[in-house]
Amino acid sequence: MAVTWARNRGGPEMRINRKDCTGLVVDIQERLFPHMSGKDALLKRCLILLEGLKVLQVPLFVTEQYPGGLGATIDQVKRILEPLTVIEKTAFSCCGEPAFRSSLVQSGRNSVIICGIEAHVCILQTAVDLLEEGYLPVVVADCTGSRNPADKEIALERLRVEGAVITTCESILFELAGEAGTDQFKAISRLVK
């Protein structure tokens, strides 16, 4: 499966289409999340993004890195995504987990909107692998975190160079909504206020 426009800057197909998107929540887990830099703002933005993706009916995948050691997905995320189906993994890249790869292929969608932790490990490796496999990773910068802000900054810089789309929560939600005046637009507007 090839997404040629992912690297074709300036081509006619630059907009991200919600019918071609899936969301990916990476490892927002009980024993890891409390150590993230700016965790309160990060959680707030992630919850807005997830609520918005639900409003827009974008299907979501959730991963947990070695939950026996790092715990389950945090309760605030679980509540939004109920019923929650989690893909457990030990590889840092979500693409290293056959259950994720199979689910992504079955979805038939080419763009993956990514949020979670840590930006410089699991998100970076997942996005690079997605690019290599012909998908378009859309990394939501204000919905990703690392323990060290410099690690996140360098990871986002590398991802931009590699060809991932770097965006923000509000920007991607309005891009996917596409127009004002709809019930979905109104719901997104309430979320981002």
Indicate the pTM of the whole model.
0.92
What pLDDT, on the 0 to 100 scale, is given for residue 13? 56
Q: Is the pLDDT of residue 5 over 50?
A: no
pLDDT in tens, 136-147: 999 999 999 999
pLDDT in tens, 146-162: 999 999 999 999 999 99
- Every domain of the chain and the residues it spans: 17-192
pLDDT in tens, 70-95: 999 999 999 999 988 999 999 999 99
- CATH class name, domain 17-192: alpha beta
- SS3 of the chain: CCCHHHHCCCCCCCCCCHHHEEEEEECCECCCHHHCCCHHHHHHHHHHHHHHHHHCCCCEEEEEECHHHHCCECHHHHHHHCCCCEEEECCCCHHHCHHHHHHHHHHCCCEEEEEEECHHHHHHHHHHHHHHCCCEEEEEEEEEECCCHHHHHHHHHHHHHHCCEEECHHHHHHHHHCCCCCHHHHHHHHHHC
For the chain, percent of residues with pLDDT exceeding 90: 90
Q: Is the pLDDT of residue 109 over 80?
A: yes
